[in-house]
């Protein structure tokens, strides 16, 4: 049954190489180059007033890992990212399943409505939240007006606001990734499990979950990376006191002008993201292969 995939058309003529060149060049110039330079900068010294002094030191990394404030920011970022990813998976799976299995002629409309939250940019959403949930927003004004509360509820500029904001942005990515994978699992396979005596829970854990695993991995990795690197949501909904890694990096570059330390934080963020992603991948693979 299994056959080797056909070689890509044009592979022999070198045309394939030519066609992948633009994307490769784009990534190399736009991503790898700057990151390499950033890494070099992260080993430089920062002397206030002198901006950046060439050197080869790990003091920026040491500074990060010895200061409770920065470690706290990292821990908070990981916690927020893990929480948002898990919630996205739990809420996204049923939705993705329904989207994948529906026979409705409105299916495309449903899919568009899943993507709809992405049409509302972060800035617009934050502005909307302020008018609705701010301390002088519509919700608090009406609750206080009715005499139900005397202090405004704190919704804006809390961790909860950031969590909800990130989940709202990331959920569509999770749902779309899962939906495409679930669509590839024949309905017959589920029915076969049912006919063999598996109830819905047994069918889910023994058949659907393992078969959807590639999509679950892709979806969680995608949402995890997005959450780890979230910038706009923590800034706009978390306020100045709620620090996450993304805004911290930017602050070092744009406000403190401390490029070496900003570079170091960037690398710590990137490494943490990659390590956690790979670790999750390996654990899941060992568990289900």
Partner 1 sequence: MARLSIEHLRKTYGDLTVVDDVTIDIADGEFLVLLGPSGCGKTTTLRMVAGFIAPSAGAITIGERGVTTLPPWKRNCGLVFQSYALFPHMTVAENVAFGLEMRKISPADRAPRVAEALRLVQLTGFDERYPRQLSGGQQQRVALARALAMEPDVLLLDEPLSNLDAKLRQEVRVEIRDLQRKLGLTTIMVTHDQEEALTMADRLVVMEKGKVRQIGTQRELYEKPADRFVAGFIGRSAFLDGDITAPGRFRTKGGVEIGCAAATGTGAATLALRPERIAVGGDADGLHNRFEARVEHASYLGAILDIDVSLSGQDSARQDRMLLQIPNKAGVAEPKPGETITIGWAEDAGLVYPREA
**Binding-site ranges for partner 1 (CB under 8 A):** 1-2, 186, 188-189, 191-199, 202-203, 206-207, 210-211, 288
- Nearer Cβ to partner 1, position 212 or 221? 212
Cβ of residue 196: shortest distance to partner 1, in angstroms?
A: 4
Cβ of residue 240: shortest distance to partner 1, in angstroms?
A: 49
Contact criterion met (CB below 8 Å) for 216 and 229: no
- Nearer Cβ to partner 1, position 35 or 185? 185
Tell me the Cα Rg of the chain: 24
Report angle CA 120, 224, 124 to the nearest 5 degrees.
15
Cβ of residue 199: shortest distance to partner 1, in angstroms?
A: 5
Q: Distance (Å, rounded) from C-alpha 35 to C-alpha 266?
A: 9
Q: Tokens at residue 227, please?
A: 């959450």
Cβ of residue 45: shortest distance to partner 1, in angstroms?
A: 54
- Nearer Cβ to partner 1, position 151 or 188? 188
Cβ of residue 188: shortest distance to partner 1, in angstroms?
A: 4
- Nearer Cβ to partner 1, position 167 or 203? 203
- Nearer Cβ to partner 1, position 198 or 284? 198
Terminal C-alpha separation, the chain: 21
Cβ of residue 191: shortest distance to partner 1, in angstroms?
A: 6
Q: Distance (Å, rounded) from C-alpha 272 to C-alpha 180?
A: 28
User: Exposed, middle or buried: residue 119 (CB in 10 Å: 0-12, 13-18, 19+)?
Assistant: exposed
For 88, residues 6+ apart whose C-beta sits below 8 A from its C-beta are: 167, 170, 171, 173, 174, 219, 220, 223
Cβ of residue 214: shortest distance to partner 1, in angstroms?
A: 11
- Which residues make beta-bridge pairs with 45? 53
Three-state DSSP state, 257: coil
Contact criterion met (CB below 8 Å) for 260 and 52: yes
- Nearer Cβ to partner 1, position 141 or 196? 196
Q: Distance (Å, rounded) from C-alpha 60 to C-alpha 226?
A: 25
- Nearer Cβ to partner 1, position 33 or 186? 186
Ramachandran sector of residue 230 (left: φ over 0; alpha: ψ -120 to 50; beta: rest) = beta
- Nearer Cβ to partner 1, position 95 or 185? 185
Cβ of residue 167: shortest distance to partner 1, in angstroms?
A: 30
């Amino acid at each position: 049954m299994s056959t080797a995939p056909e070689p890509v058309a044009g592979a022999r003529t070198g045309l394939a190489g030519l066609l992948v060149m633009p994307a490769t060049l784009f990534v190399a110039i736009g991503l790898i180059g700057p990151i390499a330079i950033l890494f070099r900068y992260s080993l430089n010294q920062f002397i206030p007033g002198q901006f950046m002094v060439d050197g080869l030191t790990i003091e920026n990394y040491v500074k990060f890992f010895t200061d409770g404030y920065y470690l706290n920011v990292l821990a908070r970022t990981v916690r927020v990212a893990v929480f948002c990813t898990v919630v996205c998976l739990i809420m996204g799976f049923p939705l993705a399943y329904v989207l994948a299995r529906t026979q409705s002629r409105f299916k495309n409309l449903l899919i568009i409505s899943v993507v709809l939250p992405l049409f509302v940019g972060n800035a617009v959403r934050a502005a909307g939240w302020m008018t609705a949930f701010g301390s002088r927003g519509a919700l608090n004004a009406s609750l206080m007006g009715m005499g139900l509360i005397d202090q405004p509820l704190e919704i804006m500029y809390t961790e909860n606001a950031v969590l909800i904001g990130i989940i709202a942005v990331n959920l569509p990515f999770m749902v779309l990734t899962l939906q495409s994978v679930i669509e590839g699992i024949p309905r017959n396979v589920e029915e076969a499990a049912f006919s063999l005596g598996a109830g819905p829970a047994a069918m889910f854990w023994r058949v659907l979950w393992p078969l959807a695993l590639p999509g679950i991995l892709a979806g969680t990795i995608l949402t995890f990376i997005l959450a780890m690197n979230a910038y706009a949501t923590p800034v706009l909904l978390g306020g100045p006191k709620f620090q996450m890694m993304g805004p911290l990096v930017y602050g070092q570059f744009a406000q403190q002008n401390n490029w070496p330390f900003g570079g170091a934080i960037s690398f710590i963020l990137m490494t943490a993201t990659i390590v956690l992603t790979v670790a999750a991948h390996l654990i899941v693979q060992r568990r289900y292969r």
